[in-house]
């Protein structure tokens, strides 16, 4: 599954970004001491996911010619990237991907992976704005709800590198253009981003997985 996701995402990546994958079901190896300490009390599945994410991140950094280093975990659980590096890690039960770039070129990166399954009906009012719920009524694929969720998660990750603010799901409104592209509009001010700021992203399906990608160039 990782190979299919990599193949689908790579043509969408701007120059200067590196993408790598690792198996989240593999043994939790390759961790640096500070990383091991961060998940000392985690359950085995979480340890495997975390280790796969760190291995994928170091593999992506190596593609950019960067040396291997520890990627600690901040109190908010976000990765603490080394000086000059920004990135995003996402994993599912079957795939783990890391996307990395240099901060001189990229202000934030967001990548999310989700199963290609509809969201449970009982959480749609929490996840979706009224406009998005109206769009769901016209959806014949059954997957729009999950695509909306995936797009919001990717956007949250990308903007968080700058705002350090956790957004609510209704703080963003997603509009798809009928192809692989979407626009995510802020419904609130989230400094340094003004209210009504729009983030551009890509949404795709690879087999039974959905992915969403948001890249914020350094202005």
Tokens 């975990």 belong to 73
Across the chain, where does the E strand assignment appear?
18-22, 72-73, 79-80, 85-91, 96-102, 106-115, 172-176, 181-186, 198-206, 209-217
Strands (E) across 8-152 are located at 18-22, 72-73, 79-80, 85-91, 96-102, 106-115
Handedness of CA 96, 214, 206, 146 (dihedral sign): positive
Given pLDDT bands bounded at 50, 70 and 90, which one contains residue 44?
very high
The whole-chain average pLDDT of the chain stands at 94
Q: Residues 69-79, buried b or exposed e (16+ Cβ, 10 A)?
A: eebebeeeeeb
What pLDDT, in 10s, does the model give residues 52-61?
999 999 999 9
Read off the pTM.
0.93
Confidence of residue 181 (pLDDT cuts 50, 70, 90): very high
Helix H, strand E, coil C: the string for 145-164 is HHHHHHHHHHHHHHHHHHHC
Q: What pLDDT score does 179 carry?
A: 75
The predicted model gives 56-81 an average pLDDT of 95
From 157, 215, 213, 159, select the one nearest 8 (Cα to Cα): 213
Of the pLDDT bands very low, low, confident and very high (cuts 50, 70, 90), residue 92 is: confident
For the segment 146-156, the average pLDDT, to the nearest whole number, is 96
Phi-psi region of 28 (alpha: psi -120 to 50; beta: other; left: phi over 0): beta
Looking at the chain, the whole-number percentage of residues with pLDDT higher than 90 is 81
Confidence of residue 1 (pLDDT cuts 50, 70, 90): low
Rounded to whole angstroms, the Cα distance separating 212 from 180 reads 9
């Amino acid at each position: 599954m990782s190979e299919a996701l990599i193949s689908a995402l790579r043509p969408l990546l701007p120059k200067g970004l590196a993408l790598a994958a690792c198996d989240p079901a593999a043994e939790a190896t390759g961790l640096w001491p500070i990383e091991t300490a961060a998940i000392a009390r985690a359950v085995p599945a979480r340890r495997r996911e975390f280790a796969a994410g760190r291995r994928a991140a170091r593999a992506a950094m190596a593609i950019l010619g960067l040396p291997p280093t520890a990627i600690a975990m901040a109190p908010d659980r976000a990765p603490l990237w080394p000086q000059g590096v920004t990135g995003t890690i996402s994993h599912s039960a079957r795939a783990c991907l890391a996307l990395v770039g240099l901060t001189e070129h990229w202000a934030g990166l967001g990548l999310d992976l989700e199963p290609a399954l509809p969201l449970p009906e009982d959480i749609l009012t929490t996840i979706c704005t009224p406009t998005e719920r109206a769009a769901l009524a016209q959806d014949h694929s059954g997957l729009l709800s999950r695509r909306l969720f995936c797009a919001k998660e990717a956007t949250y990750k990308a903007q968080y590198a700058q705002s350090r603010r956790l957004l609510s799901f209704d703080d963003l409104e997603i509009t798809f253009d009928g192809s692989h592209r979407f626009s995510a509009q802020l419904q609130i001010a989230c400094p340094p981003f003004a209210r009504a700021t729009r983030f551009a992203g890509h949404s795709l399906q690879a087999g039974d997985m959905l992915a969403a990608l948001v890249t914020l160039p350094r202005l």
